[in-house]
Structure formats: C-alpha cells, structure tokens
Amino acid sequence: MLLGAAVLALLLGAAAGVSAAPLPADIKIGVVESLTGDNAAYGLSIRSALQLAVDEVNSSGYLGGSRIDLVILDDKADKQEGISDFTRLINDDQVSAIIGPTLSSTAFAADPIAQKAGVPVLGTSNTATGITDIGTFVFRDSLPQAGVIPGEIAAVKAKFHPRTAGQLFESTNEFSKSEADVFKAILQQQGIQLVDSESYAHGDTDFRTQLGKLAARHPDIIVLSSLVGEAIPILQQAQEIGITAPLVGGNGFNSPNVIANAKSAAEGLIVGSAWFIDSTAPRSKQFVTAYRARYGHDPDQFGAQAYDGLYLVARAIKDAGSADRSAIRDAMARIRNQDGALGSFSFDDHRDPVHPSVTLTVRDGHFALFP
C-alpha cells in the first residue's frame, strides 16, 4: 500500500513551515542487520520492513525530489563485523544516519563509532539497558526491557498468582544478561521469589540439565531470556522433560519463527511485546496489509519497529530540511506523537521510545492477547 504525499505528511505529523532548503537527490541511510546465522530471523524481518517503508516514502514524494537510498550490510551477529560495517558506512558511504544493528551486543560495540563521528543511529531492535547511554546520537524505537517486563510480569501475576519463579538465560550475551537482571528486579518488586537462576553459553544446544534443575525446585513460573537460535530448543526440551509451569519469555521470543519451529512446545508461551499484529490502530492495519501484500506472510514486532524506524528517519530529514547528520539528530530528538504501526510514538529526553506495551501468549500456533 503506497501512501499519497498529502496523507503521508499528515500521518508523519510534519510541522508546517519547515525549512524548504534543497535536499540532495539521494540521501544515503546505512542499515546494519544480522542477515545470516542463527539470529537472522530478526534481521531479515527488519530488512523487509525497511524496504517496504522506504519504497512508500520515496514513491510518495514526501521528501520532494529527493529519495532515501538504503545501504544495507550484514553484520553476521558479530561485534567486529558491526564495527567494520559502521566504519565503512560512515567513512566510505558517507551516510546521513544508520539504522541498526540487530543485536544489543553489537550495538554496544558499534554505536560508539557513530557517536564519535556524530552520525545519528537508530536501533529498531535493541532493548538492553544502557543503549542510549552510549551518547546523544544514539536513539532506539524498540522499547527497553524495563518498559515491557513490568507489565508482562504483572499480567502473569494477575492470572496465575505465582509465589516463586525459576530463570534461564544466556550468560555470554549482553542482551540476555541485561534482560535477566531486569526480570530479577521486577520479580522482587512484585513479590515473587526467585528460587533458582540457571545460565548457559552461546553455542550450547542441550539445556536439559539447567531445565531439570529448575523443574526440581517446582517454581510457579519460569522466565526465559534467549535469542531465537536457543529459544526454540529450550522450549522443545522443556516440553520433552515434562515442565508444566508457565514459561514467560523475554523479547527474543517475539518472533513467529519461534512458534513455527518449536510448534506445540511454544503453546502457552507468554511474552511482553511492543506490538500486536491484530491491533486495530489504522497505521498498524495499513502496515500489516501492505506487508502481507508484498511478502505473502505476516510481519512481526521487529518488522513493525523497523517500519516505523524508517518513517522516523524520514520525518527527521523532512523537519531538518537537510541531510546533515547533526541536523537530523536534532530533528529526531524533537519527534513527539508520531502516528505509526506502534501507535502514537515519541522519543523521551533520553532518546528512548514512549508508547504502550502489550502482553501476548501463543494460542493455536499464533500470538494472541494474554490472558
């Protein structure tokens, strides 16, 4: 679904009377995502949504005679690759801004490169604590863990009245470690005792020992912090050894790939999310319709965040009336109440997103509102 320029301008909320200074014909925006490897499900979804959004913006003439040109690189979920990609985009491609990277661990390594160079970077899937503390050029439109987990645990508490919890997380990944810490803090705040916390390392494939130890403590719920590559076998092995306690997943479990591959083992999984595919919000419905028409399958939360992310960058360019990196940064920091797939979106004073979260569960092979 391509949007007309007038409608697009209204939806983006472009301020009247912004600078009419000419923009370059082509405005390069860098994209660094994990497009190969175990966590490619996130990056591929993000890339698809970005390409959909950029085609809508360019076809609408929203930036006048100018077009956004995406320069897309694969960081392979590797920190050094992320650093190299950021360096190339900033120095060789001379991009005006960067969207990405996919993983928080890569963001902690690569975002300082953009900060030092004065290039605005927008993470659309980075949720770990401390991402925007890297510097004033670092933004994200993905809700941080502390903005999602409290509501998720509150919803679980209201439904199941748990008194105890067990935990499993990856100890070698910044995202998972950060999320595990947030889970611990929120469980304590909500009066749920953490009776055991087990961890594993990146690359592990057998989680039966850790799951067995958790099961032996008979917790009322089990909270899980993992990326998609490990999330699938964790669910399968939990089912295999007979765990029946509700499984409460972190942000890494929000991919339809988890459901598609874990199959029945994913049934009943509970996740906190920034977005719900059956939202009745007009812009969300437009996004889902356009994505399905183009790709023949449903988008996920990561796609919704990327889709809105491209529109946020376009809005900042429009409001700045410039492809200058600092001007775009300043304009992006001023964005408030932009209507998008995620709902009414604003950046707070720390360049973090402000919009509601939802709690979902897997029911009959699909995400549905919890309970």
Q: Dump pLDDT digits (tens) for 235-284.
A: 999 999 999 999 999 999 999 999 999 999 999 999 999 999 999 999 99
- Examine the pLDDT at 10 and tell me if it is beyond 70: no
pLDDT at 5: 44
Q: What angle is formed at CA 136 by the lines to CA 91 and CA 63, rounded to 5 degrees?
A: 65
pLDDT at 117: 98
Per-residue confidence (pLDDT) for residue 12, from 0 to 100: 52
Rounded Cα–Cα distance for residues 208 and 216 (Å): 12
CATH superfamily of the 146-273 domain: Response regulator (3.40.50.2300)
pLDDT in tens, 16-67: 334 445 799 999 999 999 999 989 999 999 999 999 999 999 999 999 999 9
Task: Give me the architecture of the 5-143+280-354 domain, per CATH.
Answer: 3-Layer(aba) Sandwich (3.40)
Give the start-to-end residue ranges of the domains of the chain.
5-143+280-354, 146-273
For 144, the token pair is 């941080």
In angstroms, rounded to a whole number, what is the distance separating the alpha carbons of residues 237 and 232? 9
Q: What pLDDT digit, counting tens, does each position of 297-327 carry? A: 999 999 999 999 999 999 999 999 999 999 9
Token couple for 138: 């670092």
DSSP state of 145: G
Helices (H), the chain: 5-12, 40-60, 79-91, 104-117, 149-160, 174-189, 208-216, 228-240, 256-262, 282-295, 301-320, 325-333
Spatial contact of 325 and 96, defined as CB atoms under 8 Å apart: yes
- Cα(37)–Cα(106) distance, integer angstroms: 14
pLDDT at res. 22? 76
Tens digit of each residue's pLDDT (9 = 90 or more) over 274-305: 999 999 999 999 999 999 999 999 999 999 99
| 368 bridge partner residues | 361
Topology alike, domains 5-143+280-354 and 146-273: yes
In the chain, the amino acid numbered 252 is G
